[in-house]
Amino acid sequence: MKNLFVLILSFSFSFSFAQSISWAPNSEVEESLYSSFYGISGDYIGEINNSHFYIYCHLKSLLIPSDDIVFSILKVQNNQVVQSTEFFKKKYNVLKFMIFEDEIAVIYVNDSLDNIHHICIDTYNPNTLQFVKKTQIYSFKPIFGKGNQKHLVISEDKSKIAILTFAINPDIDSYSLFIKVFDNQFNELYETYHSDEFENYIRLGDFCVTNNGTVFLNLNRFTEDPVKKKCKTMFLYMITDNTIKKIPFDFEENIELQDVKFLPNQSNPNTSCFILTEFKKINIFSLDFKTETIDDPISHSTPNGYWKVDQISKLANGNLVFALNNRVINYYVNQNGSAYFYMNKNIHILCLEPSNYYIVYEKSIKRAFYQLEGFLNPIGNIYISPFYLVNQNNFTLIYNTDKDLPNDEDNIERIKVKATPNPITKISVIDEDGKIMDHLLFNSKDEKGTFIPNFSYVGSDFKINICKAKKKKITFGTVNQQN
């Protein structure tokens, strides 16, 4: 999961620029970063002793699809792969890959037994890339077996970790939300069970933890209509080590809910903003859990779209940038079989003043990028979500798109179910006045590799490091800024 805020870096690009890329030599890794049957997932997870580490993974089995995946490790120095592994044989129901105590760690649910699940950490040595040890953090009785939901989130300052599962409360033998909050060394700070009416049409919305360990989450109750599942009621929660506050919210009309996100006030633990996107609108609500009230929303219209809130970023001047992505996954069936179709169209950027949320600037970036998968990877596709970063008051995004954009960008119904064959990679930079500049970084056909947004990061030299891959061929490079 992406952090809600991105780091404000202490540098700025010259806004009149062209870009080039200094590519390191190609490397060949042990396992392919492409599959025609299922999606490859992965992330850049961090640095240990001047080495950079990357994870990529895929489903364990095509015969019985599940949340279980196998993963591989890449170790990179000076933009060159120095070690890579085959996919490890052990399968994982993953919560998070991360650097933990200077080792590579996978936090996961051991769900081999239906009646008891364990949250565990397996660590791998950064020098040998081999398994070191398994540590069990805690156990619980799940509501479901292998399909039991689980979520891990990290606070903005990375000091707190929260894990949510659906569990049976042993004290009252009832279905519950089960939340544990830890510090960043996985020392437990508190736990809470919360029982509610978890009927068939209740779904979890957003889940986040603040720097002081307060948890915010929401549950959505949808209509029973199997075609148009509209939201009719929302339950908003604030949870601390000694309190649970709940605000019920009934909509006057059932809404076609697209996405929800909390934007906590780090300096006032009782308040939070809550962002809700509809088909043509974004709504910002102010919540006060002390008085259990919701203010009337500040709303802004958007183009047609299935708008997901990819990221909310804070500029150096205090303004907030909302990056909305028109994204949906459809299940597609024809005479040749079935597949999941990832539709990724326009990106919509809203820069808002933080006190009253009025629009400073609003920009739409044309995009068309489609993927097909026979089986969904439970932790997403490695090529889809843009890479976002803030540099002072400029907002930058790098993304894959089709070089031939269709003429019907705003008509979401007219989609050819076909994967983008040879995407191009573009960079867009928006300055504090809303002036936008787009530039082609590279063409995957010419460069023989597709950009991997999840493998991007900004180094200690403040340069953007990126990656392209084609099957087992992988290449790292640095984006150069030129006046």
Q: What is the mean pLDDT of residues 236-252?
A: 90
Residue 14: predicted pLDDT: 42
Residue 12 pLDDT > 50, yes or no? no
Confirm or reject CATH 1.10.287 for domain 8-482, answering yes or no: no
The per-residue pLDDT for range 87-146, each reduced to its tens digit, is 999 999 999 999 999 999 999 999 988 889 999 999 999 999 999 999 999 999 998 777
Q: What residue spans define the domains of the chain? A: 8-482
Residue 17: predicted pLDDT: 46
Residue 337: predicted pLDDT: 78
Label each residue of the chain as H, E or C: CCCCCCCEECCCCCCCCEEEEEECCCEECCCCCCCCCECCEEEEEEEECCEEEEEEEEECCCCCCCCEEEEEEEEEECCEEEEECCCCCCCEEEEEEEEECCEEEEEEEEEEECCEEEEEEEEECCCCCCEEEEEEEEEECECCCCCCCEEEEECCCCCEEEEEEEEEECCCCEEEEEEEEEECCCCEEEEEEECCCCCCCEEEEEEEECCCCCEEEEEEEECCCCCCCCEEEEEEEEECCCCEEEEEEEEEEEECCCEEEEEECCCCCCEEEEEEECCCEEEEEEEECCCCEECCCEEEECCCCCEEEEEEEECCCCCEEEEEEEEEEEEEEECCEEEEEEEEEEEEEEEECCCCCCEEEEEEECCCEEEEECECCCCCCCCCCCEEEEECCEEEEEEEECCCCCCCCCCCCCCCCCCCCCCEEEEEEECCCCCEEEEEEEEHHHHCCEECHHHCEECCCCCEEEEEEECCEEEEEEEEEEC
Mean pLDDT value across the chain: 88
Confidence of residue 7 (pLDDT cuts 50, 70, 90): very low
Lowest-confidence pick of 167-176, 185-194, 314-323 = 167-176
Neighbours of 13 (CB within 10 A): 18
Lowest-confidence pick of 26-35, 36-45, 228-237 = 228-237
Residue 16: predicted pLDDT: 42
Residue 11 pLDDT > 70, yes or no? no
Share of the chain above pLDDT 90, in %: 65
Confidence of residue 470 (pLDDT cuts 50, 70, 90): very high
Residue 352: predicted pLDDT: 97
Residue 48: predicted pLDDT: 97
Instruction: Look at residues 145, 138, 269 and name the one whose alpha carbon lies nearest to residue 193.
Output: 138
Lowest-confidence pick of 50-59, 171-180, 183-192, 308-317 = 171-180
Q: What is the mean pLDDT of residues 285-290?
A: 93
Are the C-beta atoms of 195 and 203 separated by less than 8 Å? no
Confidence of residue 200 (pLDDT cuts 50, 70, 90): low
The per-residue pLDDT for range 354-391, each reduced to its tens digit, is 989 999 999 999 999 999 888 888 888 999 999 999 99
Lowest-confidence pick of 80-94, 304-318, 395-409 = 395-409
Distance, in Å, from the CA atom of 339 to the CA atom of 62, rounded to the nearest integer, reads 13
Lowest-confidence pick of 226-235, 295-304, 338-347 = 226-235
The per-residue pLDDT for range 412-423, each reduced to its tens digit, is 555 667 889 999
Residue 283: which residues within 8 A CB-CB, separation 6 or more?
275, 276, 277, 297, 298, 299
Share of the chain above pLDDT 70, in %: 90
Q: What is the mean pLDDT of residues 393-411?
A: 82
Confidence of residue 67 (pLDDT cuts 50, 70, 90): confident
Q: CB under 8 Å, gap of 24 or more: what pairs does 458-461 form?
A: 458/7, 458/9, 458/389
Q: What is the total residue count of the chain?
A: 483
Confidence of residue 471 (pLDDT cuts 50, 70, 90): very high
The per-residue pLDDT for range 426-463, each reduced to its tens digit, is 999 999 999 999 999 999 999 999 999 999 999 988 89
Residue 3 pLDDT > 50, yes or no? no
